[in-house]
Amino acid sequence: MNTRQAIFLIVATAAFAAIPLFVSSPFAITVLTTIFLWTYLSSSWNLLGGMTGLLSFGHAVFLGVGAYCSAFFFIKFGWHPLIGGAIGVAASCVLGYAIAYVSARYNLVHLHFALVTTAIGQIAVFTAMGIEIIGGPSGISLPIRATPAQLFFRNPAVYYWIFLLMSAGVIALTMIIRHRRMGLYFLCVRESEPAALGAGIDVVHQKLLATVISAALTAAGGVIYAQFLRFLDPDSIFSWLVSLQMVIPAMLGGSYAILGPAVGSAIFVSLQELTRTVVSFAGAPLVIVGLVLIPVVRFMPKGLVPSVGAVLRRRRAKPQRLGAASAAVGSLTKLPKVSHQDAEVILRVEGLRKRFGGVQAIDDVTLHCREGERLAIIGPNGAGKSTLFALLGGFIKPDSGSIWFAGDRIDGLGANQVCRRGLARTFQTAQPFKELSVLDNILASTFLRAPTHRDAVRAAHEILELFELNNFAPEKALDLNIIDQKRLELARAYATQPRLILLDEVGAGLTGPELKQLITVLASLNASHGTTIIFIEHIMSMVRELAERVIVLHHGEILAGGSLDEISSDPTVIRAYLGESTLAA
Amino acid sequence: MLNATLQGIVSGALVGGMYATVGIGLTLIFGVVRIVNFAHGSFLMAAAYCSWLLFVHFQVDPYLSAVIVVPAFFLIGVAYYWVLMKPMVGQSLLAQALITIAVSYVIENSALGMFGSEMRVVSMPYSILSVSIGPIVVPYTRLIAGVIGLAATTGMYLVLWRSDIGIAVRAGAADQPIAEAMGINAHATQAFVTGISLACAALGGVVLLPIFAASPQMGVDFTLLSFLIIVLGGMGNFFGALVGGIILGVTESLGSTFFNGSTGHMLTFALFVILLVLKPRGILESRR
């Protein structure tokens, strides 16, 4: 959270807090209270749904657990609502942890997560109906004899102030999280899980964290909600409609925007309340909500706040762009002819095998790579090169064989752990975090090694400089052209400060000068930082200039290895590339 | 005990045949148009009310009203595709889910406003008749549901696997850009599929009305039920939906025989969660 945001939030909260002093209409206060209630709940939902992209359609469960625990312990044992509430929040955390753990463990994303949470919501409804001690289907009431110390206020404005403060609190929390490593990691999980793993981010951990925070906040909301409603029944607390009421404001306002849920709630609640005063038709408020939501989603699929923001941004002049080709092409540094033959072996692969259905993608591959070496892997399409990289990077698990990196066995480790140990990769088709700025894309990687936030930002700027991406720093990665996206991909991998970097066809599609520039950058990384490079490439000129040693992969097996000259005179290699007749001719 | 079980299985399987038709409708949109339609059950509910209105005002036999209601919903489906589905293709799941949820809000709450929340029943002289097969008593309405459900799934099978448009639909489902490059009009086939999907929902609404009765709550119930079916069968899998529908019909029927209503429902959803986690591609997955 920066100072401007903090001041804005404080001023806005103060202004809203003053409203009950001037407005005495109970109706207006009720509407405002409801707006901030849903602002709070929707913002809490958005910490999970908007930031990590895990669409929970069952957040009413957390709300309900908080509300029911607080009410139950108060009524049955006379415990203070906050004590029961604390139990509820704790229970929600445990439940959220369990749901997130199972989902992450079995990789339930997208629709599957939405359906699982929907079903859990339904289970909660029927469970609550079956438990007589909490009133079963008919529900429970909180005693009206309670005192203000027990959170029962006869002045409705007090609930308004509570929900207002809670909303301000959760928005401030969102702002703080967003500007820290945690928030950036959440967004990375949303944008691309493979890329997040590739940047060394523990995706499972981020999902657990986001779910537990969101569940706890929602349950805390439920505690106050119970005091506000004074009557709880399974249908009005646990039902799917309640879960959707947290999702809809976020969507209306824009789930990518911090203030989106607040704006959405204001519209969502006022629409319903206004309709209610005008027409007496039973379902009218939600019909109107539906009718408004349809065009909003249809024409502004990202929600109101980001869409309006985009229009405003378009008015501002676009920054001057420097084409990649126009950038000065550095003179090719002569590669040092140091032999790495005596250097330590940094990567050793033994008897690696991987089968996909009927295809033996990798068949008994054994290879090694020495510290500081520049090793090219070539081979026809479908030879298993990218599969080999995926195995090395920990993105898929081998059927058998072992991978040793810097003395440790790394097969079986997750991709993020492999990255932490200093083995980074790029993807053949660039996998940037599309909706994030170029700077954030790099920051996601530099956070891995930087001790403080400031160090990470400084490192990110250095990387931007090195890869000549400074002009694009504020742009969304999505808006870069393919070549710049590839450069970003390389920059992201490099920003994790790897000892060994795996490059998957980074040269493909580049023009001559661009290729030269790329080779220069790679060569200088190798020379100055001693970064070991293993690269897959079809462009032979790049292989000739950069590679010390070449390995040919064919049908998942290593066909030959050695210098490019040795390889290119090997008959088996020629046969694999060009077919039998070439040799006969 | 044995009789009750047998009775439960038979009457559940018959209704399950109709569930399968409804589920196939949802799975078709998901597999071909690649949009999740959370309004599926609402269309079913709307069709059930249409059938009820025709019965109340014009004394049209509920089954006969299918002749009007089902084609009408096919046309609504085509329009639904062009107006709302097509622009949402490729949008985020959240946007897709919410636009269809918004549609369901409009339909369900309009029904609530117009007809109230009470159950609307159609009672025909044959509603209470039943046929005995050995120890098992099968009401006519369930028998009819089973027969129509089976006929509808067979019909759809023939259209999708034995006709030109079926090849176009399946090609579009497998890889839309390639299908388009091969000269298939993807939008026309997708509009057709959306129409079929809503027609399935409408058929379900009409045929199940004499068994269950129409109420606004029916919409959400059947949307969730359809999701249960297609998750059981594997999302986008035609035959899976058939199996899923029958399994669900039987489970529900046995559940209400041996447990009280809410426990039965809870167990169904618990099963749903376990299946989603352990068999995300449906129960037929391992056999393929």
Amino acid found at A212: V
Same domain, A405 and A290: no
Look at residues A381, A382, A401, A398 and name the one whose alpha carbon lies nearest to residue A390. A398
The alpha helices in A380-423, defined as continuous H runs, are 385-392, 415-420
- Listed residues A258, A290, A313: the one ending a domain: A313
Q: Which chain B residues are closer than 8 Å to A112 by Cβ?
A: 276, 280
Above 60 in pLDDT, residue B76?
yes
Of the pLDDT bands very low, low, confident and very high (cuts 50, 70, 90), residue A101 is very high
Measured distance CA(A152)–CA(A227) in Å, rounded? 6
Instruction: Compare CB distances from A119 to B98, B272, B280 and report the shortest one's residue.
Output: B272
Nearest residue of chain B to residue A248 (CA atoms): B98
CA distance A140 to chain B (A): 18
- Looking at the structure, tell me whether residues A289 and A351 fall in a common domain: no
Tokens 């990567």 belong to A347
- pLDDT for res A326: 37
Rg (CA), chain A: 29
Q: Residue A64 sits in a domain of what CATH number?
A: 1.10.3470
Torsion of CA B173, B174, B175, B179, to 10 degrees: -70
pLDDT at position A89 is 95
Could you please report the per-residue DSSP string of A219-256?
HHHHHHHHHHH-EE-HHHHHSHHHHHHHHHHHHHH-TT
pLDDT band at B177 (very low <50, low <70, confident <90, very high): confident
Test B84 with A251 for CB contact under 8 angstroms.
no
Same domain, A280 and A411: no
In this prediction, residue B79 carries a pLDDT of: 95
A79 CB-near residues (< 8 Å, 6+ apart): A73
Task: Kindly report, residue by residue over A502-542, the tens digit of the pLDDT.
Answer: 998 888 888 888 888 888 888 888 888 888 999 998 888 88
DSSP A319-374: PPPPPTTTS--PPPPPPP----TTSPEEEEEEEEEEEETTEEEEEEEEEEEETT-E
What predicted TM-score, i.e. pTM, was given to this entire model?
A: 0.87
> Residue B216: helix, strand or coil by DSSP?
coil
CATH number of residue B166's parent domain:
1.10.3470
Mean of pLDDT over chain A: 86
Do B99 and A294 count as a contact with CB atoms less than 8 A apart?
Answer: yes
**Domain check: are A153 and A32 in the same one?**
yes
A313, A336, A363: which is the final residue of a domain? A313
A391 with A526, same domain: the answer is yes
ipTM: 0.88
Per-residue pLDDT at A318 exceeds 70: no
Given pLDDT bands bounded at 50, 70 and 90, which one contains residue A579?
A: low
- Give pLDDT, residue A337: 55
pLDDT > 70: percent of chain A: 94
- In sequence order, the 6+-apart residues with CB closer than 8 A to the CB of A160 are A19, A20, A29, A32, A33, A36
Structure tokens at B100: 């269809």
Q: Is A242 on the interface with B (CB under 8 A)?
A: no
> Which of A248, A285, A291 is opposite residue B98, by nearest beta carbon?
A248
- What Rg do the C-alpha atoms of chain B give, in angstroms? 19
Residues A305, A435, single domain; the answer is no
Asked if residues A347 and A368 have their Cβ atoms less than 8 Å apart, the reply is yes
* Per-residue pLDDT tens over the stretch A161-180: 999 999 999 999 999 998 88
Output the domain CATH number for residue A369. Answer: 3.40.50.300
Per-residue pLDDT reduced to its tens digit, A371-421: 888 999 988 888 888 889 899 988 889 999 999 898 888 888 888 888 988
Average pLDDT over residues B72-85: 94
- Write the single-letter amino acid at A191: E
**Mind giving me the DSSP string for A490-520?**
HHHHHHT--SEEEEESSSTT--HHHHHHHHH
Of the residues A313, A333, A356, which one is the last residue of a structural domain? A313
If residue A84 lies in a helix (H) or strand (E), which one and from where to where?
A: helix A81-105
What DSSP designation does B208 have?
Answer: H
Q: Using CA coordinates, name the residue in chain A closest to B280.
A: A112
B residues 223-252 lying closer than 8 A (beta carbon) to A: 224, 227, 231, 235
Structure tokens at B269: 């959803």
* A492/B175: higher pLDDT: A492
Average pLDDT over residues A200-225: 94
A372 and A305 in a common domain: no
Separation between Cα atoms, residue B78 and residue B142, nearest integer Å: 30
Q: Which of A281, A291, A298 sits opposite B113 (nearest CB)?
A: A281
By DSSP bridging, strand A345-356 and strand A400-405 are antiparallel
Q: Are B97 and B234 in contact (CB under 8 A)?
A: no
Identity at A553, one-letter amino acid code: L
pLDDT above 60: residue A317: no
Residue in B with minimal Cα distance to A56:
B94
What is the rounded CA–CA span in Å between residue A217 and residue A47? 10
Cβ of A287 and B110 within 8 Å? Answer: yes
User: At residue A423, what is the residue type?
Assistant: L
User: Do residues B230 and B27 lie in contact, with contact meaning Cβ atoms separated by under 8 Å?
Assistant: yes
- The most confident of the ranges A19-28, A29-38, A427-436, A563-572 is A29-38
A309 and A358 assigned to the same domain = no
DSSP string of A412-466, one letter each residue? TS-HHHHHHTTEEE--SS----TTSBHHHHHHHHHTTT-SSHHHHHHHHHHHHHH
The parent domain of residue B203 ranges over: 2-287
CA–CA dist B127, A61 (Å, integer): 40
For residue range A445-504, list pLDDT tens digits in order: 888 888 888 888 888 998 888 888 888 888 888 888 877 888 888 889 888 888 899 998
Token pair of A247, please?
């999702």
User: Is some CB atom of chain A closer than 8 A to the CB atom of B270?
Assistant: yes
Count of structural domains, chain B: 1
* Cβ of residue B59 closer than 8 Å to a chain A Cβ: no
Average pLDDT over residues A226-241: 90
Q: How far apart are the first and last CA of chain A?
A: 71
A56 and A113 in contact (C-beta within 8 Å)? yes
CA A585, CA A523: separation in Å to the nearest integer?
Answer: 38
Mean pLDDT of A107-133: 87
Which of A297, A304, A478 is the best mutation test for B, with the most CBs of B within 10 A?
A297
Give the structural domain span for A577. 345-584
Measured CA to CA, the distance from residue A440 to residue A477 in angstroms comes to: 9
Tokens standing for residue B80 = 């639904």
Q: Is residue A496 part of a domain?
A: yes
Distance in Å, alpha carbon of B146 to nearest chain A alpha carbon: 27
The nearest alpha carbon in chain A to B268 belongs to A123
**Total domains, chain A:** 2
Residue of chain A whose alpha carbon sits nearest to that of B271: A119
